[in-house]
Structure 1
Amino acid sequence: MAMRIIHVQHSHILGGVERHVLQMLCLLRDAGHAVCFAGPPDGWLGRQCIAQGIECLDLAMHGMYDLASALKLTRFARRWNADLLHGHAQRGTRYAVWAAKWSGRVAVATAHSTNADSRFAGAQRLICVSDAVRDFLVTRGWPRARLIRIHAGVADLAANAPSRDDARAALGLSDDALVLGMVARFVQAKGHEIAVDALARLRHRDAVLLLAGADDNAVAAAVRARAAKLGVSARLRFLGECRDVAPVFAACDMVLAPSHREALSLSLIEAAAMSLPIVATRVGGIPEVVEHDVNGLLVDDGDHAALAAAIDELADDPVRQWRLGAAGRRRFQQRFGLEPMREAVEGVYRDVLPSMPLPLSSGAPA
């Protein structure tokens, strides 16, 4: 049964949520559904939807109480004959729920973080991108029966990635250098400062850290200042925002994620797809991607000494690196494919559309 689905998300940046929404829109369209993106057209997600030929509704969503945007989405849902509105994160869900209620449609939401639990009331189902997100929402009073965990899937980057030699040559990296990678937005939660502190402690003084992400903000400036203070500036490579991260991963020996908070991490799933061992913190949904000493190593949050020790440990054992990387590739293929994700989301849609169950409610504020 083909459906007509509006995905609602407010964003101007490139991050994991935006990449996930774009991926879902493309997958659903390719499966024969009619899809539309509702949100700011001048952000990364809006521009990508336009480039992909996905129908877009220019929806400003100024703050959480923009009545004009809510009414505009309501009228559009009726006119477009939508079956369902799918809101992402708190703001997208807020407007999807309002428009669904006022237009007589169904609303589904996706929770993408382990620190936000309001604005989801009114959705018929709440999809969680990881067990960590679902567990967090349960502690906040949401009924577990209405929470559906569907791991975010990613495209298999290995199919079109350059060779290790070509990737390193393009970045001016030597063949024998120890190359570490972080693909993450420059926000405090990602723990860039822990990676820099670990870099300064490594026994492997030839190690280079590639940092992929828009680096024109205060957090990136603080990382540069910290690196200068520790004398490792020459060993950092700021790559800026990378639309194609496959060449970055192809150049790496291992990938780091010293996050302080993480719902899941699409970049770690992509690293696993590229058969790369991972060194990360034991927080949020990271252990759902990385199993300690199976496809990577896990350390405690904020422990830069442990992070450095784990990197040195792996760097000294190429066979172990290969073993962990191969296990990561298998884990990706078993758990994080695109088609299983699409089918699971479609299953949620079909579950709520015929019966129109009562909206989700809890003790959490609406």
Structure 2
Amino acid sequence: MVMQAFLKVEKLRVGYGTTTVLDNLDLGIEKGEFVALLGSSGCGKTTLLRTIAGFAKPFAGSIHVADREVTQLPPDKRGMALVFQSYALWPHLTVAQNIGYGLKLQKRSRGEIDARVAEMQTLLGLSGLGNRKPGQLSGGQRQRVALGRALAIDPEILLLDEPLSNLDARIRLTVRHEIRSLQKRLGITAIHVTHDREEAMVMADRIVIMNAGRIEQQGSPEEVYNKPASPFVAAFMGAENLLSMRARVTGEQVEIMEGAFNPSTLTARHGRSLESGPVELRFRAEAARLASHGDGGAPEPGALELHGQVTSVSYPGGHWRHAVRLGADEVLVDADTPFDQGEAVKVRIPAQSLFIFNTPAH
């Protein structure tokens, strides 16, 4: 994939001083693709974006755009535009002047600048605001000005460094859909850095999940959500409930052995790379089902059933969240109706919602 990609990052090694942040990293991005770099703080996603943009120099490796190597080129010679987290608007310039700033640096004619600025203002819903200063705008409007400034120079690649993190939750929902719609309409290649899982899911064609300076998994939003390749990815994509058990693998079947709080369960291997021995089981709170201890109904084939006791109940909105005690462990399970605190319950996790991994030591 890297060799045919529009943007190619190969064998990239980047660091600061004696600390290596990215080591031997490869990444390919197709023309017109929207890719989200997703990960927690310190995972290397912003370093990767800044290196692609030209603001950080690699120790080794190369960066190509189409057939052109840009590894050692300055930022303004790479055909890219970066929208910063802080927007970095000039406070003393008007909206129109901020949008046209890059064009002015390129020494475009006044008529060309005015026409392009007007086009960007119309495209981004900023018409009539051209004479205002950034301090007279809302957060969402400032974000659009920063986006307009980046798009005005007609870049080959748009780089987005957590541009929505300074917006309140309600505005953020609107603006992320606006950016995605705009990117599809223009057909521009975009790389978006974020630590927000939902933001990456709704905006990106492909999600690249980073951990400790390397790519842990990449794929479509559906793929990384439903088929996490590691315990880290499963947890990052919301499967934070964790149980340690033992399993016996026979061909395409996995038997989760009987424990103090669960009967033996036979489920499908589904192509997973598993060996007999200790395993980690992960699942999402919303994927499990709660039933009263006296419920005589059998779980669906392949589902894991746990026997526990409700220790607390809360209402985060749209569902009831239960903390269920399983000996020394505790899991969170959502339900449409509340169960009583102290009630004995069964937790049932469907086979397709159960992520099984051999423990690292194994």
TM-score, structure 2 normalization: 0.26
| Relative contact order higher in (CA < 8 Å, ≥ 6 apart) | 1
Give the helix-richer structure, 1 or 2. 1
